[in-house]
Amino acid sequence: KAGVTQTPRYLIKTRGQQVTLSCSPISGHRSVSWYQQTPGQGLQFLFEYFSETQRNKGNFPGRFSGRQFSNSRSEMNVSTLELGDSALYLCASSLGGTHQSDTQYFGPGTRLTVL
C-alpha cells in the first residue's frame, strides 16, 4: 500500500500571502489529521477531517482552515501568512474509527517558510 503523500514538499511564501497544502491518505483511510511541527512547540494538532466533515479542531486561529474531498484527500489553507507560520506541516491518515486505538500514519510533510 502506498503511504501518505503530501504536496508540495517545500514552499516559500512572503508575509500576507496565502498557501494551500495537499494530503492524500493511505487507500481506505477516511480520516486525515493535520499537525504543525516547530522546534519550539513540537507537534501541535490543527484539525481532523472525517467523511468530508471537520470532526475536531485544535487551538489555532481561523486563518488555518481545511477541507476534505469525497476521495478522502484533504487540503489545508493558511491565509494572511505570518512569519510564525514557518513550520513543517504534517498530515496523518487513519481508518477513522472513534476508538482510541485508531492508529495515525504520517506523511513526509510540507516545509513552509514565510519570509
Binding residues for other proteins (CB under 8 A): 4, 33, 35, 41-48, 50, 55-56, 58, 90, 96-109
Of 13 and 55, the one with the shorter C-beta distance to other proteins is 55
> Rounded to the nearest whole angstrom, what is the least distance from the CB of residue 105 to other proteins in the complex?
6
Of 17 and 22, the one with the shorter C-beta distance to other proteins is 22
CA angle 84, 9, 48 (to 5 degrees): 65
Q: Contact at 8 Å (CB) between 106 and 81? A: no
Q: Which of 64, 50, 36, 58 is nearest to 102 (CA)?
A: 50
> Rounded to the nearest whole angstrom, what is the least distance from the CB of residue 22 to other proteins in the complex?
15
